[in-house]
Structure 1
Amino acid sequence: MRLSILMLALTMAVSTAWAQSGNDIDAAALQQRLQAIDADAGTAGAAAYERLQARQALATLATVRSSQRASALQIAQWRVETAEVAAQTEVARRELGELERERAQLLVEASQQDAVRARQEAERLRIQAQIQAEEAARLRLAAEEELAARQQAETVLQGVASGEAAKLRAARQREAELKRREAELLKSLEP
């Protein structure tokens, strides 16, 4: 609040001094540059200290003797340039901060999306594993039923002549082949 009052008082003092000193083109140009910083919505609140120093330098310029005018004008130019650079720097810092916050938000969103995709993939793999386990159980049951049928057939074949023994050997070979297939299937289903 005090700074605002001081700035207003300096602005009025500078304006009064301009009126008294006549048409000073350089000083008026500097005053316009400083007013442009104040009028710009993006820089209006930025670099308050530097703008105050520029106003003080302009007020001093309006009151100095003509012998000191050149150095006072140079100082006022430097102060106005410093205020402009400081205001632009502060605006750039604000924009950078906002961009960094936006980037962080985007990274969080991307991370959340990655987590959702990972959960979906895990669920898909779980279902696939469950289907494979069910298929393996079904094949195992079918193999057990076939084995039981073979064993029953072997009992019948024991009482049969040598011609029937050849059939028995064929059945055993088939059983061995099925066991081998079952083992291969089980091995292929293992994660």
Structure 2
Amino acid sequence: MAGVWTGSEKDQQIDGLSKSWEMTRMDDGTYTINFKFTQGEMTDSSQAVGDWWTENGKYYEFHDYDGKTDVYSYTVLDPKRVKFKSEKIAIGMENSEYEFIDTKTGNAKKETITEKDGSSYENAIKIGSVPQEYQYVRANCTGCILKSQSLSVNKGRFYDIIIVTKPDGSTKSYYFDITSFYGKGF
């Protein structure tokens, strides 16, 4: 199930709402999903991150944003298509029989920390949401405490700079490129 997957559905969560997504499931059990919502003339987008796994024929999707886990039964239709049916889902649905098909469009590749370590504008980590910034800092700076977060513009691109205090009392700065989502969806 690792890889880049796309899907869509209409009228299943909310009557008149169309939703499409691209989900990247990494081999390490993490995921990022980008949603696009359309209802009438209005369009919006969002992103979620979390963990995924399969166990006893079920697919589990833990969301970092709310701490809840969705559970789906699934059927592999062929090497590029998987059909999901909700069994336990965190948000309300118009349809209690929520089903969708994900189609594999590519392989997931994670940037290595040596390429982009967040140490400067040039080495800023490209992310798709503010929660991903905190997830990265937590994973790469054990015991660190947030000191400050600021917005910066450099060469026409937008950055969040997070400064943390390390357990030894020193400080470390992390640069995140937020150009892909800054000012969108508000």
Indicate the structure with greater strand content.
2
Indicate the structure with greater helix content.
1
In our comparison, the structure showing a higher alpha carbon Rg is: 1
Q: TM-score, normalised by structure 1?
A: 0.18
